[in-house]
């Protein structure tokens, strides 16, 4: 399987893939990996894909358009064959999700969860300046810093009525592996996990954006709680300005959403909603230039963290069970868990 890369669709340039290509690739331990994974998978630039289709007498753009239809069927590339020869070293490594919990004072078996991934790309392909360290300062050291501050705020405030969990996930950049593992092996039951609030990539700066970008806006009732608190501070929710990048399906709330847990993903870093965000995606996202700068101020990020703290506190002290909105693809899984919750 080859993914055809287009900058507009992916939300990042081809150079991002090139720069991270030397990093090791990981997966969780699977009972039958051959049944669950493709034998060979990779990426190809659109221009090269168009060349292949032209050589087969086919129109890539036309087929891409027809593939949007639900009744699309795969087509053969006439006259083309592919030979793949590559060496690989398979090894087992151990990593950790890091999880903390404040037990609820009244309903400890009900869980409100915050999550942020602590991993980056480590050492990869050197850039033009010879830097090969992928520091991951914005993505996602900012999210982990926010997670710690949220934990401090809950620990220093009144004991929440529901339990609150703070999860630092491993392996997000390798394919959401830490959160995928947790979704398959939950420490606390997912059917009694009220919500999962994802924190990923907060931009430095002093100017608080009046707009709060919500990845996956409209999918569930958590938006309503966030909107109420945002309005109190003079801010407004807006949808992801780059939905074609599929950000809702490539961050750590997603494996839990597949199990039915309602997810909230307010984001600033890679949405393209502001000039700072666009500059970050183009010049630093998943590159060695995502480095800490001692001149940074985090006023805007602090405002975002205060906002998601208010949402979590609302959920932790209330008795509401946010649901997926009608038509959301994750609703049926929640309906099943809701029945077992009763």
Of residues 49, 57, 51, 50, the one with CA closest to residue 77: 57
Beta bridge partners of 42: 2
Choose the most confident range, by mean pLDDT, from 20-24, 120-124, 170-174, 322-326. Answer: 322-326
Statement: residue 342 has pLDDT above 70: no
Beta bridge partners of 123: 133
Provide the pLDDT for residue 339: 66
Residues 308 and 166 sit within 8 Å (Cβ to Cβ): no
- The percent of residues in the chain predicted with pLDDT above 90, rounded, is 66
Residues 211 and 316 sit within 8 Å (Cβ to Cβ): no
Instruction: Give tens-digit pLDDT for 223-248.
Output: 999 999 999 999 999 999 888 888 89
Provide the pLDDT for residue 60: 97
Provide the pLDDT for residue 340: 64
Any idea how long the chain is? 342
Provide the pLDDT for residue 6: 93
Indicate the pLDDT class of residue 16, thresholds 50, 70 and 90.
confident
Average pLDDT over all residues of the chain? 91
Indicate the pLDDT class of residue 8, thresholds 50, 70 and 90.
confident
The residues, ordered by sequence, that sit 6+ positions from 25 with a Cβ below 8 Å of its Cβ are 174
Provide the pLDDT for residue 21: 72
The residues, ordered by sequence, that sit 6+ positions from 185 with a Cβ below 8 Å of its Cβ are none
Tokens of 29: 């331990």
Of residues 166, 175, 332, 337, the one with CA closest to residue 255: 175
Query: Among 163-172, 259-268, 331-340, where is mean pLDDT lowest?
Result: 331-340
Statement: residue 151 has pLDDT above 70: yes
Statement: residue 282 has pLDDT above 80: yes
Reduced to 3 states (helix: H, G, I; strand: E, B; else coil), residue 251 is: coil
Tokens of 238: 């807006």
The residues, ordered by sequence, that sit 6+ positions from 42 with a Cβ below 8 Å of its Cβ are 1, 2, 3
The residues, ordered by sequence, that sit 6+ positions from 237 with a Cβ below 8 Å of its Cβ are 211, 212, 214, 217, 223, 226, 227, 230
Average pLDDT (275-294) is: 87
Residues 278 and 272 sit within 8 Å (Cβ to Cβ): yes
- The CA distance from 293 to 282, in Å, is 18
Provide the pLDDT for residue 248: 93
Provide the pLDDT for residue 26: 81
Q: Is pTM beyond 0.85 here?
A: no
Provide the pLDDT for residue 227: 97
Instruction: Give tens-digit pLDDT for 96-125.
Output: 999 999 999 999 999 999 999 999 888 888
């Amino acid at each position: 399987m080859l993914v055809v890369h287009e900058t507009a669709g992916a939300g990042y340039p081809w150079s991002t893939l090139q720069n991270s290509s030397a990093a090791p690739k990981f997966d969780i331990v699977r009972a039958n990996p051959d049944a669950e994974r493709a034998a060979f998978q990779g990426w190809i630039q659109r221009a090269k894909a168009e060349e292949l289709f032209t050589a087969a007498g086919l129109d890539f753009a036309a087929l891409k358009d027809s593939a949007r239809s639900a009744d699309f069927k795969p087509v053969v590339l006439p006259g083309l064959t592919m030979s793949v020869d590559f060496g690989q070293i398979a090894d087992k490594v151990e990593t950790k999700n890091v999880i903390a919990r404040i037990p609820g004072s009244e309903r400890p078996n009900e869980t409100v969860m915050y999550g942020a991934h602590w991993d980056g790309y480590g050492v990869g392909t050197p850039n033009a300046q010879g830097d090969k360290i992928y520091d991951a300062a914005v993505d996602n050291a900012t999210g982990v810093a926010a997670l710690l501050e949220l934990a401090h705020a809950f620990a220093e405030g009144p004991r929440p009525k529901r339990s609150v969990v703070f999860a630092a996930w491993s392996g997000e950049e390798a394919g959401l592996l830490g959160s995928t593992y947790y979704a398959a092996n939950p420490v606390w039951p997912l059917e009694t996990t009220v919500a999962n609030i994802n924190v990923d990539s907060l931009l430095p700066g002093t100017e608080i954006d009046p707009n709060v970008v919500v990845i996956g806006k409209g999918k569930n009732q958590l938006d309503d709680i966030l909107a109420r608190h945002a309005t109190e501070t003079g801010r407004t929710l807006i949808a992801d300005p780059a939905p074609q990048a599929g950000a809702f399906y490539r961050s750590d709330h997603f494996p839990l959403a597949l199990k039915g847990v309602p997810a909230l993903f307010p984001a600033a870093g890679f949405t393209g909603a502001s000039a700072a965000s666009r500059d970050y995606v183009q010049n630093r996202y998943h590159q060695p230039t995502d480095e800490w700068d001692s001149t940074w101020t985090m006023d805007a990020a602090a405002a975002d963290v205060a906002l998601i703290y208010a949402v979590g506190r609302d959920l932790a002290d209330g008795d509401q069970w946010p649901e997926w909105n009608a038509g959301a693809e994750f609703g049926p899984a929640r309906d099943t868990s809701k029945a077992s919750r009763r």
